[in-house]
Structure formats: structure tokens, C-alpha cells
């Protein structure tokens, strides 16, 4: 098997392919490189963000007031938890400024609902950002087998045209053309199967990120309730 992939036979078949088959193989190669690049980038970033969120959730246990929360947001500037905390603090500041001018330091029921909605909208926006480039993986998993099939059909047509020109259908004549055609199917599967696995793995990791974001949001909600709801 190793000789098939690493020996001269496979490369000889590829070199004998026509321009269309070579173009299909080149597109599949580009899709594979793109999928692996996205997958490795996503895995590294998601693991880092999960560790950051776990640390932030632990830190939030000891936060008692807005000053401590602001300090936490400042220390975590440029991180996923820093963005979540600072965005909600900015929204809360806008609400409180109008209330404090009237001598009121608590939130009304309507304002509290808006504050909660802003927190959950922030989480939704962050999850959507984490899902960026996922369409590339899903599209590659769906399209690459079809590209491989297209290349195979084209190669078979090319092979049968060659057979008709040679006026011979013995195995030595048919086999190389069939093998050349099937290479694109193999290439399509080699792109589609890993891409589908990558898509599912990243989806699971994003769900874990989403859960931790909601956990962090819930702990912020408890602090805000204690400080501004009477």
C-alpha cells in the first residue's frame, strides 16, 4: 500500500492525466491544505480560549464589586473573557449614568431585562465569531466527493475514447485508463472524510466554549443582581 502512494506508479498516472483531471486534483489539494490550516488554527485558539475562560470563571468567584470587575477586564484586555466583561460593563455604565443623574443607583425591571438581553446577545455574537470558517470545512466535505466523481467520469470518458482509438479492450489497455480516472475519486474522499471529522470536532469544541461563556455570564448576572437590583 505504501508503495502505491509513495512509489512511481501513482505519480506516473497523475502525470499521464489530462489537463481537466490535473486541475481537479489541484483544486482538491488546495481544499485539503485550507481545511487542515483552518482546523489546526481553530484547535489551537479554542484550547487557549477554554483555558482563559476557566481561569476567568474561577477569578469571578472573588469579585464583589464593579471596581474589581473592571480591574479584571483591564487585566484580561485582548482576551475572550476580557471582551465579554468589558462590553457588558460598558453597556451597564450607559444605563447607570442616566439613573445616577436622577439620584437612583438601582436598575428598573425593564433596564435589567435589557441588560440581560445584552449579555446573551454578546455571547451569541462571540459564538458566531468562533464559528467563522466552519462553512469552509462543511463545504469541502460536501463538494470534494462530487469533484472527485466529476474527475472520475471525465477520466473514464477519456479512457474509453483512448480504447476506441486503439481498437483494443484487453486488460493492459483498459487498466491504466481506469486507474487514472479513479485517482480523483480517491483524492476527493481523502479531502472529504478528514474535513467532515474536522467539522464535527470543531463544533464540539465551540459548544464547550459557548457553555463556558454562558457560565461566565451567569456569574456576572449574580454580581449585577446583588449590586443593582432591589
The pLDDT value recorded for residue 1 is 44
Dihedral angle, C-alpha 82, 86, 88, 94, nearest 10 °? 180
The pLDDT value recorded for residue 124 is 93
Q: What is the pLDDT of residues 32-69, one digit of tens each?
A: 999 999 999 999 999 999 999 998 888 888 888 888 88
The pLDDT value recorded for residue 4 is 47
The pLDDT value recorded for residue 27 is 93
- The C-alpha atoms of residue 99 and residue 96 are separated, in whole angstroms, by 5
Helices (DSSP H) in 102-170: which residue ranges? 109-130, 134-166
The pLDDT value recorded for residue 121 is 93
Q: What is the pLDDT of residues 151-177, one digit of tens each?
A: 888 877 777 776 676 666 555 556 666
CB atoms within 10 A of CB 71: 12
- The C-alpha atoms of residue 145 and residue 151 are separated, in whole angstroms, by 10
Check: CB of residue 209 under 8 Å from CB of residue 127.
yes
* Torsion sign over Cα 28, 34, 37, 42: negative
The pLDDT value recorded for residue 42 is 95
The pLDDT value recorded for residue 2 is 43
Rounded to a whole number of angstroms, the distance between the first and last alpha carbons of the chain is: 72
The pLDDT value recorded for residue 176 is 62
Give the predicted TM-score (pTM) of the model.
Answer: 0.81
Check: CB of residue 54 under 8 Å from CB of residue 212.
yes
The grid coordinates of residue 61 equal 468567584
**In the chain, which stretches have pLDDT less than 70?**
1-16, 98-105, 162-163, 165-177, 230
Amino acid at each position: 500500500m505504501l508503495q502505491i502512494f509513495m512509489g512511481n506508479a501513482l505519480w506516473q498516472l497523475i502525470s499521464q492525466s489530462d489537463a481537466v483531471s490535473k486541475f481537479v486534483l489541484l483544486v482538491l489539494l488546495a481544499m485539503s491544505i485550507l481545511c487542515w490550516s483552518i482546523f489546526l488554527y481553530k484547535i489551537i485558539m479554542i484550547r487557549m480560549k477554554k483555558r482563559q475562560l476557566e481561569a476567568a470563571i474561577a477569578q469571578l468567584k472573588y469579585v464583589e464589586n464593579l471596581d474589581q470587575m473592571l480591574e479584571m477586564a483591564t487585566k484580561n484586555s485582548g482576551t475572550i473573557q476580557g471582551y465579554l466583561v468589558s462590553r457588558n460593563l460598558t453597556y451597564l455604565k450607559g444605563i447607570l449614568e442616566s439613573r445616577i443623574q436622577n439620584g437612583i443607583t438601582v436598575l428598573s425591571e425593564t433596564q435589567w431585562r435589557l441588560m440581560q438581553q445584552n449579555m446573551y446577545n454578546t455571547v451569541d455574537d462571540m459564538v458566531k465569531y468562533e464559528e467563522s470558517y466552519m462553512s469552509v470545512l462543511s463545504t469541502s466535505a460536501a463538494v470534494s466527493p462530487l469533484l472527485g466523481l466529476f474527475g472520475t467520469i471525465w477520466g473514464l470518458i477519456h479512457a474509453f475514447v483512448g480504447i476506441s482509438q486503439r481498437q483494443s479492450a484487453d486488460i493492459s489497455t483498459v487498466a491504466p485508463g481506469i486507474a487514472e480516472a479513479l485517482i480523483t475519486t480517491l483524492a476527493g474522499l481523502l479531502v472529504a472524510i478528514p474535513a467532515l471529522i474536522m467539522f464535527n470536532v470543531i463544533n464540539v469544541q465551540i459548544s464547550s466554549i459557548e457553555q463556558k461563556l454562558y457560565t461566565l455570564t451567569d456569574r456576572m448576572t449574580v454580581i449585577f443582581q446583588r449590586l443593582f437590583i432591589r
